[in-house]
Amino acid sequence: MYHGMADGLVPTQGSDLYYHRVTETMGGGVAATQEFFKYFMVPGMQHCWTTVVDAPWAFGAPSQAAALGNDTWSVPGFQDAQHDILLALIDWVEKNATVDHIVATTWNKPTNISTGVLKQRPICPYPQMARWDGDGDINDAKSWSCGVGRDDMDTVAKCLGSPSESTTTAVVVTTVVTTLTLASLARFALWPRKPQIIPGALTTSVPKLSKEELAKATYRTDHFPGARDVVTPVCFSTIYVCAGADVS
């Protein structure tokens, strides 16, 4: 399994969580899991292929050859198990050749092989990372090696830690709250609620009164000079007409 660390579409945390869960379920720690399942984190690679930081990204993964042209396969100029992760997987299964690293390549223009190789670098299985020897050409894969700085990979993996249950819970709660909030906003946007009209005297009791009863009422509709009563969402209001403008 591999994941570009500059992937802007699928968060690397998902692959991290999956690998940790597999390790916990199978037991035996990272070293035991690596006997059958390895996880390669690819610095600078975007979603599946290419880069914007001149990071080595091509190593024969799905869709990568197509990004380089319609007539390419594997890694042009480096069609071998050292540079192609599929060929490495075949050798691992058929020849029991352990995959310690894969050499990734990029060109002066990342997807144009005619511009010449810019740099190569080993992609290491988690939790190892590529380490420069401090002396050689930093663009040459031979100047790099995979290491963790400690002998016990399981200890390093434990120090790095898998996503905690509290973190997972927080993510779930945040997702639920966000979903409910967006659903509520969508409901009001797509199906706006009509204003509530509180029935007032103009639409309830007044129409039922006789002329005699209206004449005896202390307050009658349209009673004040130059005014008229209108129904509003609250009840009813008296509107005065002044110089052609309505003023309540």
Tokens 């990342």 identify what position?
110
| pLDDT on residue 223 | 61
Q: What Å distances lie between residue 47 and 6, 124, 210, 235, 238, CA to CA?
A: 7, 18, 79, 60, 66
Q: What's the mean pLDDT in 40-49?
A: 95
Q: What Å distances lie between residue 112 and 68, 69, 130, CA to CA?
A: 6, 8, 25
135 vs 165, higher pLDDT: 135
| pLDDT on residue 54 | 96
Q: How many CB atoms lie within 10 A of CB 34?
A: 19
- pTM here is 0.60
Q: What is the pLDDT of residues 123-160, one digit of tens each?
A: 999 999 999 999 999 999 999 999 975 444 554 455 44
| pLDDT on residue 151 | 44
Q: What's the mean pLDDT in 221-233?
A: 58
Q: What's the mean pLDDT in 70-84?
A: 91
Rounded CA-CA distance 1/61 in Å is 10
Q: What's the mean pLDDT in 110-114?
A: 94
Report the SS3 class of residue 41.
Answer: strand
| pLDDT on residue 181 | 85
Q: What is the pLDDT of residues 184-221, one digit of tens each?
A: 777 777 777 666 666 666 677 777 888 888 777 766 66
Beta strands in the chain (DSSP E): 2-4, 40-42, 102-109, 112-123, 129-132, 144-147, 227-231, 236-242, 245-247
6 in Cβ contact with 46 (< 8 Å): yes
Closest CA to 45 of 131, 111, 93: 111
| pLDDT on residue 199 | 65
Q: How many CB atoms lie within 10 A of CB 60?
A: 23
Q: What H or E segment, with its residue span, contains residue 157?
A: helix 153-160
160 vs 67, higher pLDDT: 67
